Amino acid sequence: MITGGKLKRMLRVVRRELIQRRLPHGLIGPAYLWPSADERVHLHRTLWWKHGDRWPRPLWLAAEFWLWLRWVCWHAVPACRRSLRRMASVVEQEEGISRRIQRLRILKLALFWCIPPWESYRYRLYRAPNAALDYIYDAETFAYHVWRSEPLGLQADSIKRLQDKLHLADELAEDGVPVVTTLAMAREYREAPWFEALVKKHERVFCKTNSGNRGAGAFSAWSTPEGIVGQTFGGAALPEATAVEAAWRELLAKDGALIQPYLANHPDLAPLAYNRETITVRFISQWRIDPGEDAAACYCLSAELEVPAGRTANGDTFYAILPIHPETGAFLPPEPRLIAEQAVRDAVLNVQAAAQALGRLPDWSHLAELSCRAHDGFPDIRAIAWDWVPAPSGPVLLEGNFGWGTAAVQARLGGLISSLRNIRMR
């Protein structure tokens, strides 16, 4: 018997996956319909198919056909037009590639492979469209991480442990990993006079879901003489207590919510951030499994400093990203990014220059050691992204992520698929 709660959850899934979603769950192209010697085609097809593991296959195929049809017939062309309006003149000026060539190449990728135009610009595929299959795209990210971890014996319980931020913090604290304190947790909405007391006691607090990622619904709040105000993770102002309350309700509608102290930056880094907002370090640890070795070794796949650098014209926060040398902690020259707004470009370049002048990240060796210590508890997960705040007392862990975004890694190291071309798919 289907209960009312279960029916609501099913309807939410249908709405999210078939109505709100515009793209299939991965790359879909005509090349899947005939044999191909290109290992990249086999891999992308495998990742797309893996997304449907929990669905009845006929239902999965029908849903994916619907999403593909919607994208090709309705959404692809308008999406390309929007991206061209925003980025074509910048590319034409900086790289000398005409608008016509850009249009033809990104539209072909959008229609033939369902690659969204914003990702074509992210990886500069208008320059080399034949390299499109070298990359992992947003729609494939989760399936990619599952596929990479399966040879290690991936367990669903490990993913659940990693994504449960409250229990993960308790677990890692026992192993000596410094983690952010949770002041309170709520699993459903309730009147919150205690919330005002927390804000006043700790000056500023940060609220986020217990299992979400990418800052979905997160916000900070603090007291002023006029009352409680706040700011969303994306940078939008919450100018009064009613707006903060609405954000709190929306957060709890997604998942259980955590209230944590807002962490200060290390004094060497604090001047870099816009409005002294929190700077984070993303450290991606990965198991190195060499043939003939019984034990795996943990190493840094990628690391970067993420600095809030300002606000766009519509109020969204933009970031300056600095890659970090995995062995020394030195700031590396940033990868070139296509930025349409001149003011945003200037602000990002200024922050990046100031960070490079510092030389290296404070407490880097300790942060790297702590990241691998945290990863020791997850021998069946190939790579984990750890988000740290470089605080005055040393690095403090915010959370670990299983389905971490691959864009920054690929922008610097190249497409992740290109390193797997010799892997024969089952």
* CATH classification at residue 273: 3.30.470.20
Q: How far apart are CA 305 and CA 282, in angstroms?
A: 7
3-state secondary structure of 177: coil
- How many structural domains is the chain composed of? 3
Is residue 229 within 8 A of residue 239, CB to CB? The reply is: yes
- State pLDDT tens for residues 54-68: 889 999 999 999 999
Q: Which residues contact 76 (CB under 8 A, 6 or more apart)?
A: 107, 110, 111, 114
**Range 335-341 average pLDDT:** 80
Give domain status of residue 169, yes or no: no
Containing 364, the helix (H) or strand (E) segment is helix 364-375
Predicted confidence at residue 62, as pLDDT, reads 93
> Do 118 and 231 belong to one domain?
no
392, pLDDT greater than 90: yes
Give domain status of residue 141, yes or no: no
**Range 334-356 average pLDDT:** 87
The DSSP output letter for 179 is: B
Predicted confidence at residue 152, as pLDDT, reads 95
Its domain, for residue 388, covers 265-420
Predicted confidence at residue 1, as pLDDT, reads 53
Among candidate residues 213, 242, 261, the one where a domain is terminated = 261
> Do 270 and 411 belong to one domain?
yes
**Range 345-351 average pLDDT:** 91
Q: How far apart are CA 314 and CA 209, in angstroms?
A: 25
Residue found under tokens 């319909």: 33
Q: How far apart are CA 93 and CA 231, in angstroms?
A: 36
Give domain status of residue 254, yes or no: yes
318 strand-pairing partners? 310
- State pLDDT tens for residues 265-311: 999 999 999 988 999 999 999 998 755 445 569 999 999 999 999 99
> Do 360 and 416 belong to one domain?
yes
Among candidate residues 99, 134, 169, the one where a domain is terminated = 134
Q: How far apart are CA 93 and CA 320, in angstroms?
A: 22
φ and ψ at 223, to 5 degrees?
-95, 145
> Do 95 and 68 belong to one domain?
yes
Helix axes 39-50, 141-149, angle to 10 degrees: 100
